[in-house]
Structure 1
Amino acid sequence: MAAPRVLKVRTIDLQRVQNQTRHRTEGLSSSTLVLRRGQAFTMTVNYDGRPFDPLKEQLIFRIVSGPLFVEAPVSVSRQPSLTQWTAVLEKCILNPTGHRALSVSLSSPASAPIGAYTLQLRGQTRLSVTTYFLGQVTLLCNPWCPADSVFLQSEDLRTEYVMSDIGLLFKGSPGNIVSRPWSFDQYEKGILDICMKLLQESPQHQADMGKDLLNRSSPVYISRVISAMVNSNDDKGVLMGKWSGDYKDGVNPSQWTGSADILRMWAETQFSPVKYGQCWVFAAVMCTVMRALGIPTRVVTNFNSAHDTDGNMVIEEYYNEKGEKLSMSRDSIWNFHVWVESWMKRPDLGRGYDGWQVLDPTPQERSAGMFRCGPAAVKAIYEQRVDAQYDVPFVYAEVNADVCTMIIRNGMVLSTSIDKRRVGALISTKRPGSMSMQNITSEYKTEDDGDTCRGSLADVAGRSVICHSQRQSAIFMDSKGVEVSLQLLKAPVVGENISFNVIITNTEAAQKLLKKHVNAQNKEYNRNPTGSFWESHDDVKIGPKETVTMKHEIFFKEYMLKETEEDSLVNLAVVIEDVKTQERVLASEEFNIRTPSLNIQIQNEVSVIINTPQVATVIFTNPFSFAVRGELTVSGSGLLEEKAQMRITIQPRETTKKPVSFTPRMAGAKMLSANLVLENPPTILHGFKTINVQAS
């Protein structure tokens, strides 16, 4: 009697469209089938010969990742498992042509390591074995699966934090917030495969491939690897940071509008660092990678973010008696700092710390030897659990450090004040389903975190406080003679003058002679300012219990920028000196000068339909008293195949209207964004329009 022959496989259909729709990965561009873990997918095995008989032969799937593999025998009765790979025979089919087919359902565990897998099928009888190569799949985390450690309950939040490819980044200062459009681009061609490359090129993978692949079951591990790989400081990471000076050998960080250009440039240059990034660019690229990998992620801005280099939870600031801020401390307050939060379980921290975790790819300090930060549980930051992994003390200081301000002369401290309110003044993110801001400060800190003396610098100047500094500790007695504050009269805009008041109050019943020093310095968002560009010095006589208001104006030509920026920042300070007692009080204000914005209008806004040509018009009125020239770029993921670019010149006070044609190729909420880089004044203008594309 002839031995039973193994069935002869002719073709395999991995049912890409149906599987990717069911796994919510349609639109993600990859050379492989893209699936989510913890969920079954089906395939059809077409073969020749007699019907499949599970008693006489075995079919075994082998799922291979690097040096690791698992096997899953095809069963006719088993239920899919959430803890191991299983293969179940759904049905046997006889085609009209006489060819036979098997429909098989393969399930991955909800804790399977994410990454690329090769699928093989082995048919074996007692006497023979035949192996077939079926293709490759990419496995992602699954926030729809309750057993996955990134499971997120709400469909609206999954739509926003995993599926959405448009975002708003918040910059500027708490009193003058600038919203900046960003395209996360996770659906752009080839981007998912590049995101996977970050895992492949990581030092962890290079050092021990097998260990790295096993560890990729944990989003805590994945997020630490990605946090380090988004910056190029220790590895073949994506972005090189640069915070000042000349960007000519790269791209000015303010000119990026989306993640795809950056990730493609990194991949196309054999993983050379892309020049240049700043905090919002690092965070936005990390958000793209995490969303592509299936980990719910949002971009967060902390206004007045402390960078505490010595870990004493105090930021020291020094001014001279003329009101000029001095660069004497390594500590600094970033006007804003942008990081991401990702949603995951934290079994390593015990109960209560699941949920949002801070991750910061901007290279500031090392964490276990590499420039990365997090995941730090937001709940642990709120509860001041500074013993919890990872990097909770650093993030806690970013939102809660005290600010100790000293006026000094010849190394001697003349007066001091403590401010417990300034740091972490506002923590914000984009509101789900809308292009507006959501205030999440209360998730990080209670109203009275470390609160012992509140108020502005002017109120606390000269109180009895102890300021811990590496240089000196000093105690100063009460001085209630004079109070001073600064008041901006309107939100500053590029091209207009900056108008502000200095308000001085004599709190005593005797006339005073005062010296007033006002000083304005340009600054970058992440460090102390450099030299002054404007100052004013006066003598002031003030009567008993009198309040005087003195108006000042800084002209546009005095603050005009040398380097191209989208928002210039100014540190404004006033020092009031009592001539008789030589006591001094200080008030300071840091603010950004906004650029005018571009307006985008859509011809038929209510009926934007997939695959139907449309026209958008970019509108800009030149607010300057001189002609401006520059380059306008319009982009939109899922709307424009290529960016539209054009040179434009606009006469003083003239309005220009530039039409741009586009054809939407994806349904859902999409965004057109416009960038205008002006040469003179050297500044970058932004505008955006969200478009709801309807299916045909």
Structure 2
Amino acid sequence: MEDLVIQHVNPEKSENLERHRTEDFGGSKSLVVRRGAAFRISVQLGGRPFNPKTDSLRVKVMLGRLYVTMPVTFAKKVSSSRWKAYIDPECLDPQRPSIFISSPASASVGCYRFQLCVAPRAGRQTRAFGRFTLLCNPWCPEDSVYIPFEDQREEYVQNDSGLLFMGTAMNLVSRPWSFDQYEPGVLETCLNLLQVSPQHQNNRRVDYLKRSSPVYISRVVSAMINCEDDRGVLQGNWSNDFKKGVNPSVWTGSGDILQQWAQSGHSPVKYGQCWVFAAVMCTVMRVLGVPCRVVTNFNSAHDTNGNLVIEEYYSEKGEKLSHSKDSIWNFHVWVECWMTRRDLGSGMDGWQVLDPTPQLRSGGVFCCGPSPVKAVKDRRIDLLYDVPFVYAEVNADVHKIIMSRGRVLSLSRDTENVGAFICTKAVGFPRLQNITGDYKSIKSPTSTLSSRSSTVSEVSTLSRGSSEGVLVFLTLDKAPVAGEPVRFTVTVKNKRRAAKSLKVHLNAQAKEYNNSPSDTFWETHGIVQLAAMEVKVLPQQILPAQYEDVVGDNLINLAVVLEDMATDERVLASEEFNIAAPQLSIQIADEDSVVQNKEQTALVTFTNTLSHMVGGVLTVAGAGLIQGKIHFRMLPLRPGGRVEQRITFTPSMAGTKMLQASMSLTKVSSTIRGFKMVFVHKA
């Protein structure tokens, strides 16, 4: 009798990718599947037909040096807690049997090898080998990353593009970002990130075992996105000197960063700031199967001494001073990942804050989280991980102090400015979702808004200062737009039944989102006379020619100080704001009939609303739409001028994709952006 031998093993890639919702990873050399669900391999046998009564099959699954061996049974019932291999007896082909391999819902994430062994009762054993990549499974109710709504799984796991929100709470800027998780090499790089981590290098067996937990995985990834303690992906730079690398504002997606890190032999990519760190971490977590979203906290406190108070110092003329290590970032960006928290007991499941920006050592390493959002709202600062730090970011009080020659002239307290507005991209739509109420009891008028425009809010802000004798309001008339004057109003009220003479000092400074302002670029001073109980309104404006040289991607700190000439009493009101840049417009020809693998046309349009000529380099990209990037040099354009650029592209993937364009201006430190969501029909 002939020997029974294995001639070939077919991983049935197309079928398994569809069943495990990993079709978009089809370009990977390995079969990509999700834990807690079975996948099918078909075996071509030779020599003689397979006899289930006399022949046995075994499967050995290996992760590093860890392994499990299981017999192939004829029972279809699988377990969510252990590995199992079986043949469906109803469709047994003795010459080409199909074997189903089922992993537990808590199996470790990683690159597995498997060995199939056929052992006749008499004769020699034969073996065949294969590989598969195992990811978390948010579709599996037994998996600790299970999220129960399909539209959320599509948004937080499968969507390869999104919006990052920046600017200020009153004037939001939507920055398009390509997560690129399906681009060539990104899956392999994200898995390799786990292999490069110190946890894996120090003890591979323990690391592989712990990779069953998304809590553990997320802490490893949070540390590995920055390079402070390891061979991490990104090096931070907040110096405004980017000559040795890339200005963080230039990045448009995660793919370039991850591929550069992999190709350099794991040297850190230069440079990142908070939104870049967060967006790259979002890519890695989505690749690994953990639901993830990018979150922006406007007016984010960085409390260095843990007293939940941020001190801000001003001169008597309204100039903001660098006297404190504490700071308030106009915005700070982190991620949330969805998971159960069996380590914390009931009530802390759901969204967890993770922050890969290197600002806090947690367990001796620069990482942050996972901190349950529910714990932040309930002030459960006794819980793991890093809840007190995140709580301070959204809840610290602000003390504004006017100083002169080392002497405190006045002090005012603000309990509502920090964490003024917290948002993320809405599910299924290119707009924001207000999640402030998930983190804190809503107090401020700004944060009660349930929805906003995806770019510019029409809501003005109001900053108020008060003393015993005088009340002052600083109000922006509307959200400032590039090319238009910044118009604002100073309203002064005399609270006394006697006339007053006041000196009025107005001061504007440019600033980066996370730093103290630079030198004053605009100021004005005057005297106002107030009768008893009188209110005066003082309209003001800053012209485009006065701010265009200093703004770029910066913000503006605006302050007014009133000085009572009789009592020397002072009162301060201040506001920080951004100026909305011009937008690139993208139009798709026949946008309702875009089809996979068919050439399409798009038109990118730019109108120069600035007061001077601008030129630059236009870059167009889109994961699943364009291979790589397309670059065009744009000739200088006069103020009010308009230019159009036609491009062609051939979508390689079906579904909703993002086509994005950015233009780096040559004479000013600024980038103009635009994006268009494109639905691609299957061919």
Give me the TM-score of the superposition, normalised by structure 1. 0.93
Determine the C-alpha separation between the residues in 2 that align with 1:624 and 1:399.
36
Counterpart in the other structure of 2:643: 656
1:378 equivalent in alignment to 2:364: no
Tell me if structure 2 keeps the 8 A contact 1:83–1:111.
Answer: yes
The secondary structure found in structure 1 opposite 2:428 is coil
From 15, 19, 26, give the equivalent of 1:18.
15
Q: CA deviation at 1:459?
A: 4.9
Tell me if structure 1 keeps the 8 A contact 2:545–2:611.
Answer: no
1:418 equivalent in alignment to 2:413: yes
1:315 equivalent in alignment to 2:310: yes
For structure 1, the residue ranges without an aligned partner over 5 or more in a row are 450-455, 462-478
1:45 equivalent in alignment to 2:43: yes
Counterpart in the other structure of 1:208: 203
1:637 equivalent in alignment to 2:634: no
Tell me if structure 1 keeps the 8 A contact 2:465–2:572.
Answer: no
Report the more deviating stretch, 621-630 or 289-298.
Answer: 621-630
Matched AA of 1:23: H
Report the more deviating stretch, 5-14 or 679-688.
Answer: 5-14
Determine the C-alpha separation between the residues in 1 that align with 2:28 and 2:76.
31
Determine the C-alpha separation between the residues in 1 that align with 2:614 and 2:348.
53
Determine the C-alpha separation between the residues in 2 that align with 1:580 and 1:413.
18
Tell me if structure 2 keeps the 8 A contact 1:457–1:587.
Answer: no
Matched AA of 1:101: R
Determine the C-alpha separation between the residues in 1 that align with 2:199 and 2:163.
32
Matched AA of 2:402: I
Q: CA deviation at 1:637?
A: 0.6
Report the more deviating stretch, 523-532 or 273-282.
Answer: 523-532
From 489, 493, 500, give the equivalent of 2:477.
489
Matched AA of 1:624: L
1:529 equivalent in alignment to 2:517: yes
1:618 equivalent in alignment to 2:615: no
Counterpart in the other structure of 1:476: none
The secondary structure found in structure 2 opposite 1:379 is helix
The secondary structure found in structure 2 opposite 1:286 is helix
Tell me if structure 1 keeps the 8 A contact 2:109–2:134.
Answer: yes
Tell me if structure 1 keeps the 8 A contact 2:5–2:126.
Answer: no
From 46, 59, 62, give the equivalent of 1:61.
59
| Equivalent residue runs for 1:187-226 within 5 Å | 187-226=182-221
Aligned CA-pair RMSD: 1.8
Matched AA of 1:43: I
| Equivalent residue runs for 1:398-477 within 5 Å | 398-447=393-442, 459=464, 461=466
The secondary structure found in structure 1 opposite 2:617 is strand
The secondary structure found in structure 2 opposite 1:348 is coil
Q: CA deviation at 1:251?
A: 1.0
1:558 equivalent in alignment to 2:546: yes
Tell me if structure 2 keeps the 8 A contact 1:627–1:652.
Answer: yes
Counterpart in the other structure of 1:539: 527
Counterpart in the other structure of 1:86: 84
Q: What whole-Å deviation, never above 9, does each CA across 1:122-161 have from its counterpart, x for those lacking one?
A: 2335676635242210000000000000001001111111
Distance change (3 Å), C-alpha of 1:399 and 1:625: closer
Q: What whole-Å deviation, never above 9, does each CA across 1:142-189 have from its counterpart, x for those lacking one?
A: 000000000010011111111111101100001110111111111111
Determine the C-alpha separation between the residues in 2 that align with 1:636 and 1:543.
62
Determine the C-alpha separation between the residues in 1 that align with 2:507 and 2:465.
20
Matched AA of 1:274: V
Determine the C-alpha separation between the residues in 1 that align with 2:561 and 2:127.
80
Counterpart in the other structure of 1:264: 259
Q: CA deviation at 1:55?
A: 4.2
Q: What whole-Å deviation, never above 9, does each CA across 1:311-353 have from its counterpart, x for those lacking one?
A: 1001111111111111111110000011110100000111011
Tell me if structure 2 keeps the 8 A contact 1:253–1:277.
Answer: yes
From 348, 354, 365, give the equivalent of 2:349.
354
Determine the C-alpha separation between the residues in 1 that align with 2:210 and 2:515.
37
Matched AA of 2:569: E
| Equivalent residue runs for 1:562-581 within 5 Å | 565=552, 567-581=553-567
Determine the C-alpha separation between the residues in 2 that align with 1:512 and 1:92.
96
Determine the C-alpha separation between the residues in 1 that align with 2:193 and 2:215.
16
User: Percent same amino acid at aligned positions?
Assistant: 54
Determine the C-alpha separation between the residues in 2 that align with 1:78 and 1:489.
68
Q: CA deviation at 1:500?
A: 1.9
Q: What whole-Å deviation, never above 9, does each CA across 1:294-317 have from its counterpart, x for those lacking one?
A: 001111100000011111001111
The secondary structure found in structure 2 opposite 1:73 is strand
Distance change (3 Å), C-alpha of 1:623 and 1:284: same
Tell me if structure 2 keeps the 8 A contact 1:93–1:101.
Answer: no
Matched AA of 1:669: T
Matched AA of 1:656: V
Matched AA of 2:248: P
For structure 2, the residue ranges without an aligned partner over 5 or more in a row are 445-460
Determine the C-alpha separation between the residues in 1 that align with 2:549 and 2:383.
44
Tell me if structure 2 keeps the 8 A contact 1:202–1:225.
Answer: yes
Determine the C-alpha separation between the residues in 2 that align with 1:20 and 1:126.
35
Determine the C-alpha separation between the residues in 1 that align with 2:123 and 2:341.
48
1:297 equivalent in alignment to 2:267: no
Q: CA deviation at 1:589?
A: 0.2
Q: CA deviation at 1:568?
A: 1.9
Determine the C-alpha separation between the residues in 2 that align with 1:593 and 1:276.
24
Tell me if structure 1 keeps the 8 A contact 2:416–2:443.
Answer: no
Counterpart in the other structure of 2:667: 680
Counterpart in the other structure of 1:177: 172
Report the more deviating stretch, 211-220 or 186-195.
Answer: 186-195
The count of residues paired between Structure 1 and Structure 2 equals: 665
The secondary structure found in structure 1 opposite 2:429 is coil
Counterpart in the other structure of 1:334: 329
Determine the C-alpha separation between the residues in 1 that align with 2:344 and 2:246.
40
From 117, 120, 141, give the equivalent of 2:115.
120
Determine the C-alpha separation between the residues in 1 that align with 2:91 and 2:321.
80
Q: What whole-Å deviation, never above 9, does each CA across 1:421-480 have from its counterpart, x for those lacking one?
A: 10000000111010111100000001359xxxxxx996564xxxxxxxxxxxxxxxxx42
Report the more deviating stretch, 223-232 or 130-139.
Answer: 130-139
Report the more deviating stretch, 69-78 or 551-560.
Answer: 551-560
1:597 equivalent in alignment to 2:583: yes
From 660, 666, 669, give the equivalent of 2:656.
669
Q: CA deviation at 1:86?
A: 0.4
Distance change (3 Å), C-alpha of 1:610 and 1:458: closer
Tell me if structure 1 keeps the 8 A contact 2:465–2:573.
Answer: no
Report the more deviating stretch, 663-672 or 532-541.
Answer: 532-541
Give me the TM-score of the superposition, normalised by structure 2. 0.94
From 513, 516, 520, give the equivalent of 2:501.
513
Determine the C-alpha separation between the residues in 1 that align with 2:157 and 2:653.
16
Report the more deviating stretch, 68-77 or 546-555.
Answer: 546-555
Q: CA deviation at 1:497?
A: 2.9
Determine the C-alpha separation between the residues in 2 that align with 1:416 and 1:131.
82
Counterpart in the other structure of 1:71: 69
Matched AA of 1:22: R
Tell me if structure 2 keeps the 8 A contact 1:82–1:108.
Answer: yes
Determine the C-alpha separation between the residues in 1 that align with 2:188 and 2:463.
54
Tell me if structure 2 keeps the 8 A contact 1:419–1:460.
Answer: no
Q: CA deviation at 1:628?
A: 1.4
Determine the C-alpha separation between the residues in 1 that align with 2:126 and 2:351.
45
Determine the C-alpha separation between the residues in 2 that align with 1:554 and 1:457.
18
Matched AA of 1:191: V
Determine the C-alpha separation between the residues in 1 that align with 2:463 and 2:427.
38
Report the more deviating stretch, 168-177 or 624-633.
Answer: 624-633
Determine the C-alpha separation between the residues in 1 that align with 2:356 and 2:384.
16
Distance change (3 Å), C-alpha of 1:321 and 1:143: same
Tell me if structure 2 keeps the 8 A contact 1:93–1:100.
Answer: no
Tell me if structure 1 keeps the 8 A contact 2:60–2:70.
Answer: yes
Report the more deviating stretch, 52-61 or 134-143.
Answer: 52-61
Distance change (3 Å), C-alpha of 1:521 and 1:194: same
The secondary structure found in structure 1 opposite 2:427 is coil
